[in-house]
Amino acid sequence: MANRRVFPAYTQREYAEMHLIYGEAGQSSRAAATFYRERFPNRRHPHHEMFTRVHNSYMEGRLPSQRGDGRPQVADEDIVLQEREQDPTTSVRAILRRTGIPQSTVHSVLK
């Protein structure tokens, strides 16, 4: 196994500064990385892809250090609601068999 250095996450202030610089750089991650190195020469310098990741995190309504909730379930929700609309008496198991959507998802949509 390779000996890899693990760095702690950036502070929320550092993430915010990355996001601001990304905007100043016209949403160019490579330019943002260059600007960040110039503005903060004594800090560790994130890879240029980090600027895009930080921006996407903020656009998804979460802080960059938080994990997402996984794959969005919008399509599954629409399918479950459509199944229920077609037959309001249909059971959770019947929806599960017809759609293949997990039972827990069907239950949470129908709550």
65 inside domain: no
pLDDT digits (tens, 9 = 90+) for 33-67: 999 999 999 999 999 999 999 998 888 888 887 66
Report the number of distinct structural domains present in the chain.
Answer: 2
The number of beta carbons lying within 10 Å of the beta carbon of residue 94 is 13
**Domain range enclosing 33:** 12-59
Q: Is residue 28 situated within a structural domain? A: yes
| Res 4: pLDDT | 54
1 inside domain: no
User: Is residue 103 assigned to a domain?
Assistant: yes
What is the pTM for the complete model shown? 0.55
- Percent of the chain at pLDDT > 70 equals 85
Spatial neighbors of 9 by CB under 8 A, at least 6 apart, are: 65
Q: How far apart are CA 111 and CA 109, in angstroms?
A: 6
- Residue 79: count of CB within 10 angstroms of its CB: 19
Query: Does the pLDDT at position 8 exceed 70?
Result: no
